């Protein structure tokens, strides 16, 4: 299993790393995510939240949805080799997301101002749009992680 967000020949994104809370295959809460890069920028794909991610029984937890939004926004940037952290995340819930419901997603960079990039994430079900998320991501130097005692297992995630 690859531990980097490499893009495969088919344009499919692999997990950031095995223990990533949202996308990692070793995470007990791993979300079913199938993300693809159709072009130079942006991501499309499918997402399914299941019973492990529910709040109100049968309905996906808003926090779990926000984590998925953060994950997808992050994937837009890691695939471009941008080293960043999320500084702010807003999630607008237009309609309930039912557990087991297959959603389509699309995500793109809305704006870039200095070190700040705003990434928009849209999730839609069969009946239309259910979630719009906006992540404000701030570019950081390698030292942001190394000063925390983290090494190449982190910095390499952004290096491609
Ligand atoms: C492997 C990939 C996984 C991908 C999915 C997961 C992604 C994540 O969730 S990352 C983890 C969660 N996030 C974090 O840990 C971040 C914690 N926060 C920090 O480290 C710092 O506050 C940090 C780096 C965001 C900003 O600090 P610093 O580098 O000193 O920059 P600073 O000068 O304060 O801010 C830079 C710019 O961003 C703006 N900014 C910073 N934070 C915010 C905020 N919360 N809201 C709005 N603007 C902000 C500042 O106003 C400034 O703007 P300008 O350049 O116009 O003056």
Domain interval for residue 116: 32-158
User: Is the pLDDT score of 2 beyond 50?
Assistant: no
Is 29 near ligand 1, meaning CB less than 6 Å away?
Answer: no
State the number of CA atoms in the 13 A half-sphere of 146 facing the CB.
8
Q: What is the CATH number of the domain that holds 73?
A: 3.10.129.10
| Domain-embedded: residue 81 | yes
First to last CA, the chain: 17
Is 61 near ligand 1, meaning CB less than 6 Å away?
Answer: no
pLDDT for 160: 42
| Domain-embedded: residue 149 | yes
pTM of the model: 0.93
pLDDT for 52: 98
Q: Which pLDDT tens digit goes with each residue over 111-146?
A: 999 999 999 999 999 999 999 999 999 999 999 999
Is 24 near ligand 1, meaning CB less than 6 Å away?
Answer: no
- Whether this model's ipTM surpasses 0.95 comes out as yes
| Domain-embedded: residue 7 | no
| Domain-embedded: residue 18 | no
pLDDT for 72: 97
Look at the chain and report how many structural domains it folds into: 1
């Amino acid at each position: 299993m690859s531990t980097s967000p490499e893009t495969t020949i088919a344009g499919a994104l692999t997990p950031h790393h095995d223990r990533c809370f949202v996308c990692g295959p070793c995470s007990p809460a791993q979300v079913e995510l199938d993300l693809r890069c159709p072009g130079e920028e942006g991501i499309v794909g499918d997402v399914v939240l299941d019973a492990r991610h529910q709040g109100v029984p049968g309905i996906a937890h808003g926090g779990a949805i926000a984590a998925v939004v953060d994950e997808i926004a992050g994937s837009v940037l890691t695939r471009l080799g941008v080293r960043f952290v999320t500084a702010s995340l807003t999630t607008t819930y237009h309609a309930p997301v039912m557990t087991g419901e297959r959603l389509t997603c699309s995500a793109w960079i809305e704006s870039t101002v200095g070190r700040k990039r705003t990434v928009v994430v849209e999730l839609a079900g069969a009946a239309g749009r259910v979630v719009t998320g906006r992540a404000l991501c701030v570019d950081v130097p390698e030292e942001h992680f190394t000063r925390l005692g983290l090494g190449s297992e982190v910095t390499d995630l952004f290096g491609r």
